[in-house]
Structure 1
Amino acid sequence: MATLKEFEDALREHGMNMALALLERLRERDRATRTVKPARRLTGQKMTPELARAILDLHATTGMTQQEIAFKVGVNQGRVNEVIKRGKWLTDDPQAPEAVARDKAKARLRGEPKPKKAAVKEKKVAPRRTNQGQLALGDL
């Protein structure tokens, strides 16, 4: 399959100026009508307990799919699924796993160093006794 540039070069090579002019006119028409369309969602909504309750309400009272709910409230479908299936984001608990993950991600974006884990103390293991007798099947 040839690229548009290769096609244009082939037209030039064969002296097909009328075809080149037509191609240029089509290009100009496309440039004139081309617009930059905004995305469905510029940024996702921040998940809050209120938004999670709204998602559950839409899910319970309408026949909307998770994708339709996500588009309506401005989050992705995975977040809707987490709210419906696992009950995430229904409380303002700062120790909830999703809140902790969100805070860690924000800290990474700000370039903050990772919090250091507390040093783990080594457990003292009692030495094994080597003078214990073992029974073998033949001893019985």
Structure 2
Amino acid sequence: MATLKEFEEALREHGMNMALALLERLRERDRATRTVKPARRLTGQKMTPDLARQILELHASTGMTQQEIAFKVGVNQGRVNEVIKRGKWLTDDPHAPEAVARDKAVARLRGDPKPRKAASAKPVKAGEKAPPRARRNQGQLAFGDL
């Protein structure tokens, strides 16, 4: 398959001036009708109970698709689906699964260390050895390791 530039060069080689003129007219028409459209959204909105209620209201009162609602309120279509189908984000409960997942993701982005669970250490009696610690996976083998 030839590119438009290669096609134009072939027309020039064969002296097809009428076809070249037509091609130039098509380019000018294309330039005249071409527009630069802004990005759909730069950053997504933070999901809040108010935004979730607005999504439900738009879904119930209009014939808009989930994608259209997402574009209008500034979130992705997956979030709209979660609100409509599962009722997520409708409360300010900080212990709701979606709020916990959001907080964990924010902590990962900030580089905060993971909170570790406190180990239930059994007291060691005098003269006894402490039980061996569970070994952690030290990493994966690579092809050069063997």
- TM-score, normalised by the number of residues in structure 2: 0.61
| Superposed counterparts of 1:48-67, under 5 Å | 48-60=48-60, 62=61, 64-67=63-66
Q: Deviations over 1:62-108 (max 9, x none)?
A: 25354244344333332222112222111122232222322333344
Q: 1:21 to 1:109 in 2, by over 3 A?
A: farther
Counterpart position of 1:115? 114
- What residue ranges of structure 1 are gaps of 5+ in the alignment? 125-140
Counterpart position of 1:129? none
Shift of 1:114: 4.5
Shift of 1:122: 9.1
Count of residue correspondences: 122
Q: 1:108 to 1:21 in 2, by over 3 A?
A: farther
Counterpart position of 1:3? 3
Shift of 1:121: 6.5
Q: Could you tell which deviates more after superposition, 22-31 or 93-102?
A: 22-31
Native 8 Å contact 1:66 1:77 kept in 2: no
Superposed CA RMSD in Å reads 3.1
Shift of 1:24: 3.0
- What residue ranges of structure 2 are gaps of 5+ in the alignment? 123-130, 132-146
Q: 1:12 to 1:115 in 2, by over 3 A?
A: same
Native 8 Å contact 2:58 2:64 kept in 1: no
Native 8 Å contact 1:69 1:80 kept in 2: yes
Counterpart position of 1:35? 35
Counterpart position of 1:73? 73
Counterpart position of 1:135? none
Amino acid at match of 2:101: A
Amino acid at match of 1:16: M
Native 8 Å contact 1:66 1:80 kept in 2: no
State percent identity of aligned pairs: 82
